Chain A
């Protein structure tokens, strides 16, 4: 390649490279740098603490609890969001005239602001006024306070998270379902695989592979980043039972102004997300076939 061509190529790539540097790589480097200092927002002096913050994370009970809670939350929301989305998509896809109606209904939670909807949920779940409690007491479970019971609060938040994510996944699965050629179902019908289970196992599920991979990874990331419901509904309580990574991170960074420590947490959160995504992509990719 001639020199002038190389220069021209670099010039063309430069704007994108500069933007990536400024918006993605730069902040990450700053974050990494902050995580090894004792920087506090507004402080005049900064000291290097090395990997001290990371070591502290291992013995920080609040962080450990937040980590456990977050994994519990993801473990509950992820299967529900993926298989719930798939199940609803399968049902909605089979509708002909009412399909768009159901699409809108299930997609509504996605378009609404979770902070605003959280107040609705607060009313719905209110132990004496809320309709959910009314249903509970009809079954003899009077006085259950879903958001203030340490054993139930995280599960309740997970249900709300699920409620919000499932519609989005449904739309993705619907797109995947529409892309499956009709010929394949007809070939399956002739081959004797026309029954529900065989249709699903021979055609629908394998051909939804790429969609499932995408949905799983995005749902994991979304679940990992749970924040608004915690901040609005429980503030991490009761007894820290709903403290999640992002919420603790927010407290450290923006309530206690321990920016350096919060930066270290962010790095850990990022590392988790990257590792999980890579594992999922690797595992699923081996079984996915892009036609």
Chain B
């Protein structure tokens, strides 16, 4: 019995501000979450991502701004009336109910009157058995989709972490909500299960075609699952874009630093007249529009390559530690000025005892003194 699914709803946030006393947790956040997209709010702890999700759900009313779900402003509505479902980090399953009871709860709340839910009194309702049967049929459909049909009679305490996760998903899915809100749903799972559930969640999103708003502090989850990522820091959205956009064109040092593992290398440099950049042994030609002064070069670990030691136009480094990842090496090195650089190089040949790094200028990022991205085309210049 296929469940007729409603078209997914978009979520619009306009200037959401939330303060706790003197602390501003959300600082005028505006976001357009498209219908059916998997949008991830990612950022370090305390950046306001969970608060934003809880604002959408209706748990933390905002001080300023407006939340609209499916084109309808929901600011005055309680959580249940907002038509969103949430999956909690702790799963928040009712421990005294079976899996079936947990998944059935949202439907029972909507289809049975208060009297029909009260102990004893509910036995008087003639239509309750029929409604219960319908609900259980829907619960089974969802349970089958999540492969937890055999667990319906168990209590949450008898389930593994991954199984509880699925039950929590089932409780969200059975309502066919306008959007799914997920608050770090994978962080209580062990590493192997986390990778597996990542795939399953992404597949589930595709199958349901529903709007997912996903909160995580783990940039890998954000990069691997999302259609778009909103990177937050200190209550603001620093950058909104596809995972590739965030990785390839970070809008600021903060974004560049958060996205990517191992993290981006940041090399202090000086911009001189006519767009000439100088950093340690490296001399690069940028557009002449780059204002002179201190700048920062962002170098992804894979943009570094091994070079013979002392070759012109290379960075002199001292190897501190080499990590063998099987197919590649992670080389942790240090420049004479004490800047740590990590390079990711193919493990095709043994790492030489002494070496330097060359950089691919086309893959460099240039950031200004305030950490903002400077769009420029960089070219190599051999040192004079």
CB pair A190–B96 under 8 Å, yes or no, is: no
The CA of A186 and the CA of B90, in the complex, are separated in Å by: 12
The CA of A209 and the CA of B155, in the complex, are separated in Å by: 15
Total number of B residues with any Cβ neighbor in A under 8 Å: 30
The answer to whether B79 has its CB under 8 Å from any CB of chain A is yes
Q: Which residues of A contact B281 (CB under 8 A)?
A: none
CB pair A186–B155 under 8 Å, yes or no, is: no
Given contacts A187-B86, A191-B80, A192-B109, contact A289 B57 (CB under 8 A): no
CB pair A183–B171 under 8 Å, yes or no, is: no
The CA of A263 and the CA of B133, in the complex, are separated in Å by: 59
Q: Which residues of B contact A198 (CB under 8 A)?
A: 109, 114, 117
Interface residues of B in 68-86 (CB under 8 A from A): 78-80, 84-86
Give the residue name and chain of the A residue nearest to B155 (CB): A289
CB pair A193–B109 under 8 Å, yes or no, is: yes
Query: Which one of A61-69, A86-94, A147-155, A199-207 contacts B?
Result: A199-207
Given contacts A183-B88, A183-B90, A290-B157, contact A192 B95 (CB under 8 A): no
Q: Which residues of B contact A290 (CB under 8 A)?
A: 157
CB pair B109–A184 under 8 Å, yes or no, is: no
By DSSP majority rule, is chain A's interface helix, strand, loop, or mixed?
A: helix
CB pair A202–B105 under 8 Å, yes or no, is: yes
The CA of A202 and the CA of B94, in the complex, are separated in Å by: 8
CB pair A207–B86 under 8 Å, yes or no, is: no
Minimal beta-carbon separation of A193 from chain B (angstroms):
5
Minimal beta-carbon separation of A178 from chain B (angstroms):
16
Q: Which residues of B contact A184 (CB under 8 A)?
A: 92, 94
The answer to whether A176 has its CB under 8 Å from any CB of chain B is no
The answer to whether A240 has its CB under 8 Å from any CB of chain B is no
The CA of A291 and the CA of B90, in the complex, are separated in Å by: 12
Q: Which residue in B57, B94, B95, B156 is a CB contact (below 8 Å) of A190?
A: B57
Q: Which residues of B contact A140 (CB under 8 A)?
A: none
CB pair B96–A209 under 8 Å, yes or no, is: yes
Contact with B along A27-50 (1 / 0, CB 8 A): 000000000000000000000000
The answer to whether A9 has its CB under 8 Å from any CB of chain B is no
Contact with A along B104-118 (1 / 0, CB 8 A): 011001100010011
Interface residues of A in 198-242 (CB under 8 A from B): 198, 201-203, 206-207, 209
Q: Which residue in B85, B94, B117 is a CB contact (below 8 Å) of A203?
A: B94
Q: Which residues of B contact A183 (CB under 8 A)?
A: 88-90, 92
Most buried by A among B85, B97, B109, B118: B109
Give the residue name and chain of the B residue nearest to A181 (CB): B90
The CA of A98 and the CA of B255, in the complex, are separated in Å by: 45
B interface residue numbers (CB < 8 A to A):
57-59, 78-80, 84-86, 88-90, 92-97, 105-106, 109-110, 114, 117-119, 155-157, 171
The CA of A195 and the CA of B117, in the complex, are separated in Å by: 12
The CA of A188 and the CA of B96, in the complex, are separated in Å by: 14
Q: Which residue in A187, A192, A201, A206 is a CB contact (below 8 Å) of B92?
A: A187
The CA of A195 and the CA of B85, in the complex, are separated in Å by: 17
Q: Which residues of A contact B57 (CB under 8 A)?
A: 186, 190
Give the residue name and chain of the A residue nearest to B82 (CB): A190
Give the residue name and chain of the A residue nearest to B95 (CB): A291
Q: Which residues of A contact B88 (CB under 8 A)?
A: 183, 186-187
Interface residues of A in 242-291 (CB under 8 A from B): 289-291
Minimal beta-carbon separation of B276 from chain A (angstroms):
56
**Contact sample, A vs B, 11 pairs, CB 8 Å cutoff:** A181-B90, A181-B92, A183-B90, A186-B57, A186-B79, A187-B94, A189-B78, A190-B84, A191-B171, A201-B119, A206-B97
Known: A289-B96, A290-B157. 6 other contacts (CB 8 A): A181-B92, A183-B89, A189-B79, A190-B84, A289-B95, A291-B156
Give the residue name and chain of the A residue nearest to B89 (CB): A183
Minimal beta-carbon separation of B265 from chain A (angstroms):
40
Most buried by A among B95, B155, B156, B157: B95
The CA of A187 and the CA of B91, in the complex, are separated in Å by: 9
The CA of A198 and the CA of B97, in the complex, are separated in Å by: 14
Given contacts A183-B88, A206-B94, contact A191 B106 (CB under 8 A): yes
Q: Which residues of A contact B95 (CB under 8 A)?
A: 206-207, 289, 291
Q: Which residues of B contact A209 (CB under 8 A)?
A: 96
CB pair B90–A191 under 8 Å, yes or no, is: no
CB pair A189–B117 under 8 Å, yes or no, is: no
The answer to whether A96 has its CB under 8 Å from any CB of chain B is no
Give the residue name and chain of the A residue nearest to B54 (CB): A186
